[in-house]
Structure 1
Amino acid sequence: MATNTPNEDAASLIFPNPLVYPPIIKHQQTFIILHGRGSVAPEFGPHLLAMVASGGGTLLSTFPHAKFIFPTAAVSRATIYKRAYTHQWFNNWHLEEYTKRQDLQIDGLRASCAYIHELLRREIEIVGGENVVLWGLSQGCATSLTALLTWDGKPFAATVGMCGWLPFSNLIEEIVRENESGDDPFSHSGDDDEDTKDPLRLGSENSEIDTRKQAVAFLREHLDMNSEGDVFWDVPVFLGHGTEDEKVSVNLGREAKSCLDLVGVDVQMIEYEGLGHWYSQDMLRDIFQFLKKSLKIDKEIS
């Protein structure tokens, strides 16, 4: 694990009460939707709920049985804003150089994922995992994807990411590709090494599964999260990204998709020509279709 100089005491982070929209009719689903850095739920939620998707329909009208939970990130210092305080799910370095100073992300990601996991557990208890969706925009997308990979509860219906990225994707990919090439960073020479007797690491038929598990285990260990299991294989992911995104390059979205593919996640990505760092009516239409399928709702979106 990388040495981490804490930029913020994770235990001191305070998450405001989420903004909650009750279902229009009987509660059957719950959507947990995360804003981006510098925003808050009361700014982000109403706009998303009000936008009409291509072909018609808003989130509220398309999913009338859904409760919408918009959490607000805790306030902490942002290194890229000269350590000014802002609402952010985690601290990080400039995305143009995202592989540098990755230790900045650890404390905030750990605390935010733990908070999101608690929301997931609560809603899964109410409506069942098959009816819960996790969704995020920008840094909220990055947090949602990390929360998925570190989740060890029951499977849930789907994860949606808009114009975001996957923290530590370069390190996760490195582990997978090193293992695929036969240069296993976890292996040791010597027949008597106890690590080589791990049943998950024996047998060519298990090698691909082992590689994926090792990569995700690295992420969990890096964040000091003691979660186990492979629930992330059972949760489909949709990523939407504008080709002209000036804040989070579409290349970061592509790398997130590639990394999730490598660890065995069922992920699809759609790029939107000419779109900047936001969502669009077309993106919402595609997300609605994806969620209808994931939630096993029959009605088609036109």
Structure 2
Amino acid sequence: MLYPASYIVEPQPGHSHSHTIILLHGRSSTAEVYASDLFALKTTDLAKNLPSHFPNFRWVFPDAGERWCIAYKEERSAWCHTYSLQDMSLRQDLQVQGLRNGVYRIEDIVHEEVERLGGQSQRVFLAGFSMGSAVALWSIFTGAAFTSGKLGAFLGLSAWMPFTREAMVALEQRIPTATHAAHLKSLSVTFLDILGIDSFTSCETIQKSILEMLAYLGHGTDDIPVSVSYCRDLTGILRSLKVQLETREYIGAEREGHWVKEPEQLDDVVTFLRTLMNDTSWGGLG
């Protein structure tokens, strides 16, 4: 699939490029609209927006482009098909092509951004909102996100993950002596088999990269379009894989709860990112 160009926001004038954050938009949005909506939000601290807090960041917003959505009988901006938000397991076969194309797209973008940072892959963070999180997570578990090295962090906003039930089955091996590495390999192989593609990198690389990556999940308890239960399932999966995870729940966000809660959630995102930047082992500025 030929994707539209990403929407890019360069570091603030007078500031050198130190980190890149790649943020994938949700369904029915676009890269530029998502960037505009996200940057309109303010934190408690001096009512700053995200670029004001991180003037050295390069912000990369990939664009999903439009595809025919069977459930709605129309073209929509979407990374993949979703037949039903109430039950994501319905017609999951419709999601496969979009996920397959999406993980290759993320691999390319991550590679470009790592090169811009002189190979310092830990200074690249991957994030997504709703369906954008779905593609980001599959890029992580298939290894597509790690072909240029480990990433510093993953941030999931109102996140859900396709084929969650299959992921849980892959992690519930009934072999008493099964190791953590074996569970992760089972999950990666399951996702690669669903996509019908070969592994992007070794299972050892995926495991090491995931263990050395920090993660944040934030979701509204009153999210009507995408239930918080999806995020709770995802939390269980990530914790079983020993991911260093911070999870937060919020109430009262706009858009029927399916959005970033201002200012509380933005405050938490800023705190999470500052923790990364202040820790030299995670590519921080020292």
User: Where on the TM-score scale, by shorter chain, does this alignment land: which range?
Assistant: 0.7 to 0.9
Q: What is the Cα deviation at residue 297 of structure 1?
A: 6.1
Residues in 1 aligned to 2:175 and 2:9: alpha-carbon distance in whole angstroms? 51
Query: Residue 147 of structure 1 corresponds to which residue in structure 2?
Result: 139
Q: Find out whether 1:159 has 2:154 as its counterpart.
A: yes
Identify the match of residue 182 of structure 1 among 168, 172, 175.
175
In the TM superposition, structure 1's runs of 4+ consecutive aligned residues that sit over 4 Å from their partners are: none
Query: Residue 282 of structure 1 corresponds to which residue in structure 2?
Result: 264
Query: Residue 61 of structure 2 corresponds to which residue in structure 1?
Result: 70
Question: What does residue range 58-137 of structure 1 map to in structure 2 within 5 Å?
Answer: 58-82=49-73, 84-127=74-117, 128-137=120-129
Identify the match of residue 21 of structure 1 among 3, 6, 9.
9
Q: What is the Cα deviation at residue 112 of structure 1?
A: 0.9
Residues in 2 aligned to 1:70 and 1:244: alpha-carbon distance in whole angstroms? 27
Q: What is the Cα deviation at residue 88 of structure 1?
A: 0.6
Q: What is the Cα deviation at residue 92 of structure 1?
A: 2.1
Residues in 2 aligned to 1:108 and 1:248: alpha-carbon distance in whole angstroms? 19
Query: Residue 241 of structure 1 corresponds to which residue in structure 2?
Result: 219
The one-character-per-residue Cα deviations of 1:173-220 (angstroms, maximum 9, x if unpaired) are: 11211x1x339xxxxxxxxxxxxxxxxxxxx3x623212221222112
Instruction: Give the residue type in structure 1 aligned to 2:94.
Output: L
The answer to whether the Cα contact below 8 Å between 1:215 and 1:263 also exists between their aligned partners in 2 is: no
Residues in 2 aligned to 1:175 and 1:147: alpha-carbon distance in whole angstroms? 17
- Structure 1 length-normalised TM: 0.82
Query: Residue 183 of structure 2 corresponds to which residue in structure 1?
Result: 211
Q: What is the Cα deviation at residue 148 of structure 1?
A: 1.5
SS at match of 1:69: strand
- Structure 2 length-normalised TM: 0.86
Query: Residue 222 of structure 1 corresponds to which residue in structure 2?
Result: 194
The one-character-per-residue Cα deviations of 1:146-196 (angstroms, maximum 9, x if unpaired) are: 11212242101111111120111111111211x1x339xxxxxxxxxxxxx
Q: What is the Cα deviation at residue 67 of structure 1?
A: 0.7
The one-character-per-residue Cα deviations of 1:239-270 (angstroms, maximum 9, x if unpaired) are: 10011101100001111111122233222210
SS at match of 1:144: helix
The one-character-per-residue Cα deviations of 1:113-168 (angstroms, maximum 9, x if unpaired) are: 11011100111122111211111111111111111212242101111111120111
Deviates more, 1:288-297 or 1:245-254: 288-297
Which is higher, the Rg of structure 1 or of structure 2?
1
Identify the match of residue 44 of structure 1 among 34, 38, 49.
34
Unaligned segments of structure 2, at least 5 residues: 281-286
The answer to whether the Cα contact below 8 Å between 1:158 and 1:236 also exists between their aligned partners in 2 is: yes
The answer to whether the Cα contact below 8 Å between 2:218 and 2:250 also exists between their aligned partners in 1 is: yes
Root-mean-square deviation (Å): 1.7
Residues in 1 aligned to 2:34 and 2:127: alpha-carbon distance in whole angstroms? 13
The answer to whether the Cα contact below 8 Å between 1:37 and 1:88 also exists between their aligned partners in 2 is: yes
Q: What is the Cα deviation at residue 294 of structure 1?
A: 2.0
The answer to whether the Cα contact below 8 Å between 1:124 and 1:156 also exists between their aligned partners in 2 is: no
Instruction: Give the residue type in structure 2 aligned to 1:29.
Output: H
